[in-house]
Every structure is written in C-alpha cells, then in structure tokens.
Amino acid sequence: MISKYVFGQPVETGAAVMEVPECTQPLSLMQTEQTPEGVRFFCGMDRMDVVYGLGEQMRGINKRGFSYISYATDDPVHTESRHALYGGHNFLILSRRNLPSFGVFVDDPGRVVFDVGETKLDRLEITASCDCVLYVIEGDSLNDIAGQFRKLVGRSYIAPKWAFGYQQSRWGYTNEADVCTVVNGYHGCGIPLDAVYLDIDYMENYKDFTVDRERFPDFAGLVASMKEQGVHLVPIIDAGVKVEPGYPVYDEGVANNYFCKEEDGTDFTGAVWPGRSHFPDVLNSAAREWFGSKYQWLIDQGIDGFWNDMNEPSVFYSEKRLKSIMDEVLSMKEEHPDMHSFWLLKDKLGSLANNRDDYKSFYHNMDGVKVCHDKVHNLYGYHMTKAAAEAFDRIVPDRRILLFSRSSYIGMHRYGGIWTGDNASWWSHLLLSIQQMPSLNLCGILYTGSDIGGFGCDATQDLLMRWLEFGIFTPLMRNHAAFGTREQEVYQFENIGDFRNIIRIRYGLVPYLYSEYMKAALTDGLYFRPLAFDYPADAHAPKVEDQLMVGESIMIAPVYTQNADGRYVYLPQDMLMVRMKSLEERHCEVLKKGHHYVDVALNEVVFFVKKGCMLPMAVLDENIKSIEGIDASGYEWIGFADDTAEYVLYDDDGLSKEYVPRSEWKKVTMVMAGAGTVNVRC
Ligand code: MIG
C-alpha cells in the first residue's frame, strides 16, 4: 500500500509514474514538524532495526549510524566522512524487527538530509524542503515493499546485451592509435572485449559533439572497423558547453535561450574542462529536445553508447566567484598573512568548486516558470540523460542504446544507468562498491557498476584481480582509471592468463546474468539483494555486510582485503559452493548452513548456488572476442537439488525493444535421477 502526502507546492520531478491519490488521513508511521530548514519527518528505531537504500552513498548496506545528504556533488575523494556523492536517491526501507517494515520516498529534488541515527541513535530523521512529496510504502516483506516502490517509479532502463560484456576505459586514450593499442592488447592475449571508452580527449577542445580531426582522421571508419571486431566505442558527453562564438552548439543555445540564466537574464558562466562554459537548461523541454538531438551526429557515425559526465552539474568555478576571491587574494598581497588568514586564504580557493552559492545563483525556465537551480539541483543529471534517451527514442526508436550517467535522481533509472564515479584504487572502495550495489538496485538503478580497479591512485595487480572477481557479477563491468595513474588494462600486469580466465568466466555467466537482469527489469525486481531480503527469518542475515544475492540462484562473497587467501562466509542455508579457476576448471562442494572459512586463491572465482536453484553457463570458444560470440544453442547447467531444481531463462536478441512476454519465458527443470546423475528438461 502506497500513501502519498503533499507538502507545500512541490516541483514536478517525473520520478513517480503511477497515479497515487493524495492521502487524507494524517501520516501515522512518522511524525512531522516544521523547522527553519523545511519539513522534518521522524520516527524511532529499535536497536535491531535496519535501514536499507539511499542508493549511491558512502558506508554500508545498513545505513544506520550516519547522516547522508542528497545534494549531487562532484567530489572525487570518497572517504568515510563524506555525506554526499553524485546522486539524490531518496528512498529507504526501515526494516523493523518487532513492527511492520515500511519504505519512504521523499520526492524533493533539492537538498534532503537523512539522519539515520547519527544525532540520536534511536531516531530516523529526514529533513526536506517545505515543498515535497512523501510516499510511505507498507507491504508484506522487504521484497514486496521494494517491488511496490519500483512500480511507483516505473520500469528500469534496459541496456543492449553487448553492454554486459567486458569494457575498458581510461582518461587518456587520446587518438585512434591508443584505441587500437587497447583492442590489440586484449585480443592479443585472447581476452574478449565489448567496448572501449572515449574520455574527454577525443573532442576538439572539450567541445561536446565534436571529434578532433587530427587525432581521429576517420572517426566513422574507426567506429565501423572496431565494430567488425565486436568492439563498441563509447564517447563521453559533458554537461558544460564551451563559450565560443562560431561553435554551433554555443550559438544555437545562446540564440534560443537554451542555457541556464543568472538572476538578471544573462547566461550563467562557469568553468569546466572546455574553459568558460554555459549549461544547457535541460529542465526546459525545448532545450532538452535540442540538446538531445545533438547526440544524433554521433549516432550517425555508428556510435551506440554514451556516458554523461559532469552533470551535477560540476562547476570548477563561476566567473563571479573567481573574480571576488581573486580580488580578496590580491588585497592580501602586501600583508604577510598570519596563520589564521593563511588558512582562510587556502579555504577560499578550495571553496571555488561546486559551491552551493553558485547553485543558488542561477535559474531554469521550467516551461515558463523561473526556478532557482538550488531547489531542483538533483534533477540536472537526470534530465541531461533524459534528453539523450528521449532523442534516441526519436532517432532510433527500435534500438537500445547504452546510456549511463554520473549524476542521477530517482526517475532517471528509466532512461539510463549510472557508474559510481571517481573511486580510488583502494581495497576499501572494492568493499564500498559491493555495498552500493543493492542500495542502488533498491532505488531502481539496475544497470550499474564501479570503476573496476579504481579510478584514482595506482592499482596493484591483486586489487585489480579481486575487483574483477566481483565485477564479473555487475551489469556494467568496466575497468576505468584516471589520467596520470598506473596503466590499468589487465595486460599491463603479471599473470595475464589468470585475468583472461576471470574475464572468460564473466562471458560464461552472461546467459545467467543477462537473464536475471532482464527478469529484474521486466518484473520490477532486484538483481542484487542483501541476504535479509531472501532469508527474512534468519537472525544473522541482516548483519551480513559483504555478501550479496545475485539474481535468483546465487550468492556471492567477494574477497576484498589484500593478502587474504580466503574469507569467512555465512550461509543462510545449505548451498553448493562453485569454485572456478577457469570456465573449464570447476569444482563443486556442498556446504552446510552456517559460518565457514572458505579458501579463495587470488586467481579463483567462488560463488554459491541456493538449494533448488540452477544456472546456465555458456560453453565458450577458445577465441571468443565479444558477447556476439556466445553460443546460445546450448548451455551447461550448474544446479543444486535433492530432487528437482528449476530455472526460468530469459533471452532475446539483446538489441530491439521487443522484450519477450512473461508467458514465453523458458522454464528449465533439473531432476535428480539417482546419485550423481541428472536429467535436464527445457
Ligand atoms: O573532472 O573526463 O568521473 O570518469 O574520467 C574529471 C574525465 C572529469 C570525471 C569522471 C571520470 C572521467 C573524468 N571526469
């Protein structure tokens, strides 16, 4: 049951797609109070209660004990103390031990604070603005609450099947030769690869919808020849448009008032990679249509995937703030600063980037209504991505295009996925990425993954290998690294054969992973789930922070510490442990419910099959180069059963939008016929 409460005069965010009548009864599960900052919702929490959700945030699967802020920010230092990352994912479930659990979605695209028992241990407190919509969702189980929420916000984005292949990226591939080196590097080692990313360096002076002619003399030709080898090129699109008369995107934007405005009506200027830039007013439907239509130029050259970046929007500095701070700094030139003013000076310069006062200083034209950006801040990345997705629907209505964004808000999950931004090559960020996945899925974001190996800092061989062993289960499986860091393509490291085996296991798993992804998307289900969602009666399950259910059949328990040769794993029921050194070298063993220490060598993949469940494994050709090469005519099956195991297999062409109706999904049954032998029926 979903109850809707409206406060003030909220902006239409488009997050919810289901009509829910406004509730006439007063809110009972939470109390409400007006504060100087806005409206506050709060309720008590029992010691054993768990809070799930909030999407892309720091810390654990259970969000208790900290405050989280929804106010998208381009902060590349994801330390434990951070309260905000790139998204606004205002949905959580309070899972209560002794009372019915419920979900809360605060539809407010401005700054929202979730104090989940930080200030007061036993209190959940949410502070939104005066204009917001609150949805409270009651249901029979955690899965039921999550499912109702997903019905409210609509079907998640569905990526093309090739986007489930392994992908390589780096900020620093600057020309055609760099791209070829990567592809040859992988193919030369017999490792499949489905995409290579183009970061900002492919553009001409960081201008959106341009390609540098000197560095990419025959772009369309390169795109086509790569595609022949099964590799898709995926260019980045940044939010900021370079101020440069004569550059058509700039000229058209200015002429039609398509950019965000200052209070006085002039175009807001902030600096990002292109230098002085304007920001398309993607909250205005005409501007959105215009900006989206620009993607066509790249689609016409054979591009079929994009990543939208810098769309918090990131502003390195605004012209007016830089000027005022420069003046201040210059006025200090003659004095020898005391220590206090020295630190003040340093902070001033540090406060230039992504400053909230700048976000308060510019405006959108929301189809006739002037709205201050700060009030709708979290909608920007969402609507930039919506601009692209709506354009794809016009340009190539029958085809799926890969699309994901850095900044997002609930509602954007219908148009694209996200990656989790600028993490670092830290073991703690491997764990963080494991913990972010179920939280993101709860908010509807299914097509997601982190920068494998870590974006900032230098990756070590073992970190990359362990990260890949987890990354083979994330829908987006992309190795990405920052400019200036150690080169992170797997062939740059020792023991390439082990890397090859792990990536090939991913391709072997694709029939299962894709099937599970599609079923989750088409039924509003969860691809990644915390253990407690599947084992609600198990008292230990809610405490497990480093294991996940992946699809209907398996559980994973990734190793995320250096120099470990295994880890403790909790089994909420008897399971079949599958250990793989390669796709062909499999070892299975039944483990009993309870706690186990499981050895996991650095070059091994281990996962667990639930009882009564099974999964398909593709049999791969030695030379498989991409997803296209997977033979779908027959699979091997791994299952665990006393008598029968079942699996519902979804498959389609991976490209069109005509998804297979549920009545036609294939059910595969495995029947044990005497010790060690099985019959499989389809
Ligand atoms: O200011 O385009 O998160 O993935 O490589 C940095 C360069 C801008 C941030 C993205 C990252 C990308 C980088 N971008």
- For the Cβ of 199 lying below 6 angstroms from any atom of ligand 1, the answer is yes
CA distance 606 to 571: 13
Note the residue count of the chain.
682
**Which pLDDT value is given to residue 332?**
80
pLDDT for residue 654: 98
Atom 8, ligand 1: residue with shortest CA distance: 310
Q: What is the pLDDT of residue 106?
A: 98
DSSP, collapsed to helix, strand or coil, labels residue 205 as coil
Q: Are 90 and 13 in contact (CB under 8 A)?
A: no
| Beta-sheet pairing, 195-198 with 232-238 | parallel
Here the tokens at position 642 are 């006393």
Measured from the Cα of 200, ligand 1's closest atom is 2
201 lines ligand 1 (CB under 6 A): no
At 675 the pLDDT is 65
Structure tokens at 146: 């999550």
484, amino acid identity: G
The C-alpha angle with vertex 307 and arms to 221 and 161, in degrees rounded to 5, equals 75
Between the two ends of the chain, the Cα-to-Cα distance in Å is: 37
Exposure b/e, 344-366, CB count within 10 A at least 16 = b: eeeebeeebbbbeebbebbbbbb
Q: Measured in angstroms, how far is the CA atom of residue 6 from the centroid of ligand 1?
A: 37
For residue range 254-301, list pLDDT tens digits in order: 999 999 999 999 999 999 999 999 999 999 999 999 999 999 999 999
> Is residue 452 a contact partner of residue 421, using CB atoms and an 8 Å limit?
no
Tell me the CA–centroid distance for residue 170 and ligand 1, in Å: 9
Closest C-alpha to 461, from 432, 497, 435, 431: 497
Q: What angle do CA 107, 109, 112 make, to 5 degrees?
A: 80
| Cβ-contact 81, 87 below 8 angstroms | no
Strands 417-419 and 402-405: parallel
Given this model, what pLDDT does residue 545 score? 98
Distance 341 CA to ligand 1 centre (A): 33
CA of 478 to the centre of ligand 1 (A): 14
Q: Whose CA is nearest to atom 12 of ligand 1?
A: 171
| Closest listed residue to residue 407, CA positions, set 171, 84, 16, 61 | 84
Low-confidence ranges of the chain (pLDDT < 70): 674-677, 682
Phi-psi region at 55: left, alpha or beta (left = phi > 0; alpha = psi -120 to 50): left
Instruction: Write out pLDDT tens, residues 58-113.
Output: 999 999 999 999 999 999 999 999 999 999 999 999 999 999 999 999 999 999 99
Which atom, in ligand 1's list, is nearest to the CA of 236? 2
- Residue 678 pLDDT: 75
Give the pLDDT of residue 342: 84
CA of 423 to the centre of ligand 1 (A): 11
Other CB atoms within a 10 A radius of the CB of residue 518 amount to: 22
- Whose Cα sits closest to atom 11 in ligand 1? 422
Nearest CA to ligand 1 atom 6: 310
Query: Among 115, 105, 25, 13, which Cα is nearest to 67's?
Result: 115
DSSP for 330-360? HHTSSS---HHHHHHHHHHHHTSTT-HHHHT
pLDDT score, position 680: 74
Cα(96) to ligand 1 centroid in Å equals: 40
d(CA 23, CA 483): 52
